Every structure is written in structure tokens, then in C-alpha cells.
Amino acid sequence: MFSKACEHGLKAMIYIASKSMEGERVKIGEVAEHSGTPEAFTAKVLSTLSRHELLHSIKGPYGGFEMDQQQMHQVRLADIVSAIDGDKLFEGCALGLTTCNEDKPCPMHNSFVQIRTDLKSMMESTSIYDLATGLISGESILIR
């Protein structure tokens, strides 16, 4: 459903938010290790998210990545998906057709419209804070 970059971005953001809630700034290597993502790829994804101002990137020996309280509460999963993958997931055809609508639907159109609407609604209403609290409490995990 998500690209690999988007999967890595979501996991990284959850981890960064959880560490930021504990007052810690994290380096790329730590993010990669605790989210189960390759370090070079993680750096590229986090650079994209930082450019979209979804997290803070601090340079230097005491640098790393962090999120402030406002970001944690305001950044929605949909923001991360849009920054990395664009809005295709929320607007595109299930089969990838360039034109698919109610007048000329693909074979999956009628079933997929409601699923896509529900997914978009969930991703627009879920903050990174919501998921980070589950990680901190131990109710959820990022890697197996």
C-alpha cells in the first residue's frame, strides 16, 4: 500500500516522536536501528520530511532529529504520506489507471472508493503523537 520510503518514514517519525517525548534527540543510526531501516535510506527519507518541516534536523556533534510538542500533535500520518509519496494513495485508481471515475470506472472502482475514503479519514485524524504514545507504553512495536 505504501512505498518502502513511506513505510520507513512512518516508522522513523514514530520513533523520533517517542524519543522526543522523553526529551531526547536521535541520530540517524539510532533511528535506522530502532525502526529496522537501512541508514542511508533513512537519511534520505528524513531529509525529505525535514524539508517539509515535519520534524527538526539539527546539525553538529550534538545534532540529530527531534520533534517539538506542537509538531507531534499537528503532524498527521497523511502529512507524512503526502510528503513522501504524494496524494496518489488518496486520489488514485486502485489499478493505476490515469482516468478512473464513476462515469468510466475500473473494475475495482466502486469497492475501492469507500476503502480509500476511510483510509484517508484515519490518516488525517491520527497524529504521530497518537502512535508514539503506543510505542512508549509498549502497546505497539516498530520491528520484530
Instruction: List the alpha helices (DSSP H) in 1-144.
Output: 4-21, 28-35, 39-51, 69-74, 77-85, 88-91, 109-125, 128-137
Distances (CA, A) of 127 to 6, 79, 87, 130, 137: 16, 9, 18, 5, 16
**Which 3 state secondary structure label does DSSP give 3?**
coil
> Tens of pLDDT along 17-61?
999 999 999 999 999 999 888 899 999 999 999 999 999 999 988
> Tens of pLDDT along 50-100?
999 999 999 988 899 999 999 999 999 999 999 999 988 888 888 989 888
Whether the pTM exceeds 0.85: the reply is yes
**Which 3 state secondary structure label does DSSP give 126?**
coil
CB atoms within 10 A of CB 92: 15
Beta bridge partners of 57: 65
